[in-house]
Every structure is written in structure tokens, then in C-alpha cells.
Amino acid sequence: MAEVLPLLLRRRIKRKIKDAGAISVETAKTAEELGLDRFALRWLEFVKDVKKTSDGRYYLLKDEKR
């Protein structure tokens, strides 16, 4: 069960970003606008789910089958 929790959390955060409309460089949002902790966003950036713009906004990268 412990292995499932990070996956569920990851999906929930990605859904929140998508629902906020942060799906491209043009529509990227700050952590405050997304209502998310910067730690969570850095984690998703590390696992290549989100990308950070040069001005500190985040957006969801396209989901690709891995």
C-alpha cells in the first residue's frame, strides 16, 4: 500500500495543475496560483511531470506512455 500513496498523490497534484489550466508555457502559473507547495512542484519537476519557467511559474508536461 505504501507504494501506491506517492502515485495517487502524484496523480492528484497533476490533476489540480491541469484543472487550473497550467498546460503550456503561456498558461503556466505560480505555486500560489495553483495552491500547491513548492516542494510538491519541485518533486514533480524532478520526475519530469512539470516544467518550471524562467520566471518561476509551472506547467504540466504532456503525459506520455512510458
pLDDT in tens, the chain (66 residues): 556 668 888 999 999 999 999 999 999 999 999 999 999 999 999 999 999 999 999 999 986 443
pLDDT at 64: 47
Q: What is the model's pTM?
A: 0.84
The answer to whether residue 36 sits within a structural domain is: yes
Q: What was the pLDDT predicted at 25?
A: 96
Q: Where in the sequence is the domain holding 25, given as residue range(s)?
A: 4-60
Number of domains within the chain: 1
Q: Are 27 and 57 in contact (CB under 8 A)?
A: no
* 43: in domain: yes
Asked if 22 contacts 11 with a C-beta cutoff of 8 angstroms, the reply is no
Cα–Cα distance measured from residue 25 to residue 6, given in angstroms and rounded to the nearest whole number: 26
Q: Would you say residue 66 lies in a domain?
A: no
